[in-house]
C-alpha cells in the first residue's frame, strides 16, 4: 500500500512497528505492510505465473477443491437473496465463483489480472472485466450482492473499494468477503512466520475487530464474522509446505510424493485463521 499516516479501519494515527516490514494499529489491531507500490508494480504481480507456480501451484488443477468452498458461499447468498438479483465479484480470477453464482444471480465481476479475466471470459464464458474496480464506471443498476473472496488483503486501499461498492449497492444488499485473520490463535502462534504474511501480494492483515471497525465506519450494518473449514488440494498444500524456494531441503520429498501420485486428493481443513465477513447496506445515504 502507499505508506499511510493513519489506519484504514479506524483512522487512528496510533500505530507502531509489528513484525519486520509490518505496522500495527494500536487501537483496532489492524496490520498492514509498510511498503509503497506503483499501480504497474502491483499489476505485474498478478501475471500468469501468479496462478501457476507462484501463489498457486496450478489454479486450474485446484478448481475442484476451490469449487467445494465456493458452492458453500453461493448457498449462503441464495439463502440471503432467494429472489436472486445482481451480483458482482471484485477479484473474480478465473471466474469459478461467478460460474456457480450465475445459476441464481445475474453475475459479473472484474480482476486486475488480464490473464485471469481472459480465462474467465474465454474458457468459462463469464462476464469478467480486466481492470481495477476503482476505475470502472458505475453500474446501470445497483448490485444486490458484492463479493471479495480472498481479495481484500491484496488491495492497496481496501477502504476505497468497499466505499465505492457501498455506493453501488442497493439498500438491503449483502457484502460478502473472506481473508486471513491475523488475530487468530494460529496466526499469533506462528508470529512473523504465519503463512499468509507475504507482501507485496498480501498488503493488509485483518482481525475480526479491525474488519468490523472498517465495515461499520463505511456504513455497513449487521456485520457478521465467522470461521469455517475450507477444502484444500493435497498437492497444492504439499507444494506450499515443502517445495517453496525457502524449503529447498524438503523439495525432493514433494517431488517424490507428487510423482508417485499420493497427492491427488482434496480434503476439508480447519485452521481457524481464515475469516468470512458479511454485512448489509441498510441505507442509501450514508456516503
Determine the pLDDT at residue 142.
Answer: 98
Q: What mean pLDDT is predicted for residues 50-74?
A: 91
The total of other beta-carbon atoms located within 10 Å of residue 231's CB is 18
| Choice among 1-5, 21-25, 144-148, 174-178 with the minimum mean pLDDT | 1-5
List of residues 6+ apart from 251 with CB closer than 8 A: 242, 243
Task: Report pLDDT digits (tens) over 209-218.
Answer: 999 999 999 9
Read off the pTM: 0.91
Work out the mean pLDDT of the chain and round it to a whole number: 92
Share of the chain above pLDDT 70, in %: 95
Angle between helices 158-167 and 208-217 (to 10 degrees): 40
Which domains are seen in the chain, by residue range?
Answer: 15-280 (3.40.50.150)
Cα first-last separation, the chain: 23
Amino acid at each position: 500500500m502507499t505508506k499511510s499516516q493513519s489506519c484504514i479501519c479506524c483512522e487512528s494515527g496510533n500505530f507502531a512497528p509489528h513484525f519486520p516490514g509490518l505496522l500495527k494499529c494500536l487501537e483496532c489491531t489492524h496490520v498492514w505492510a509498510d511498503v509503497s507500490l506503483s499501480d504497474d508494480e502491483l499489476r505485474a504481480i498478478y501475471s500468469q505465473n501468479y496462478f501457476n507456480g507462484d501463489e498457486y501451484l496450478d489454479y486450474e488443477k485446484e478448481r475442484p477443491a476451490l469449487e467445494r468452498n465456493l458452492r458453500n458461499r453461493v448457498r449462503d447468498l441464495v439463502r440471503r437473496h432467494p429472489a436472486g438479483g445482481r451480483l458482482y465479484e471484485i477479484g473474480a480470477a478465473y471466474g469459478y465463483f461467478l460460474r456457480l453464482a450465475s445459476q441464481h444471480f445475474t453475475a459479473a465481476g472484474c480482476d486486475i489480472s488480464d490473464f485471469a479475466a481472459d480465462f474467465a471470459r474465454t474458457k468459462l464464458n463469464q462476464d469478467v472485466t480486466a481492470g481495477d474496480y476503482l476505475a470502472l464506471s458505475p453500474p446501470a443498476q445497483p448490485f444486490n450482492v458484492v463479493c471479495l473472496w480472498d481479495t481484500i488483503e491484496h488491495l492497496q486501499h481496501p477502504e476505497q473499494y468497499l466505499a465505492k461498492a457501498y455506493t453501488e449497492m442497493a439498500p438491503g444488499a449483502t457484502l460478502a468477503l473472506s481473508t486471513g485473520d491475523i488475530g487468530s490463535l494460529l496466526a499469533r502462534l506462528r508470529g512473523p512466520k504465519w503463512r499468509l504474511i507475504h507482501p507485496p501480494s498480501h498488503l493488509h492483515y485483518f482481525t475480526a475487530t479491525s474488519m468490523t471497525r472498517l465495515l461499520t465506519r463505511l456504513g455497513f450494518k449487521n456485520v457478521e464474522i465467522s470461521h469455517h473449514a475450507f477444502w484444500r488440494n493435497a498437492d497444492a498444500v504439499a507444494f506450499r509446505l515443502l517445495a517453496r524456494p525457502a524449503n529447498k531441503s524438503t523439495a525432493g520429498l514433494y517431488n517424490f510424493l507428487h510423482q508417485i501420485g499420493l497427492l491427488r486428493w482434496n480434503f476439508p481443513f480447519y485452521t481457524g485463521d481464515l475469516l468470512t465477513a458479511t454485512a448489509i447496506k441498510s441505507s442509501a445515504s450514508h456516503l
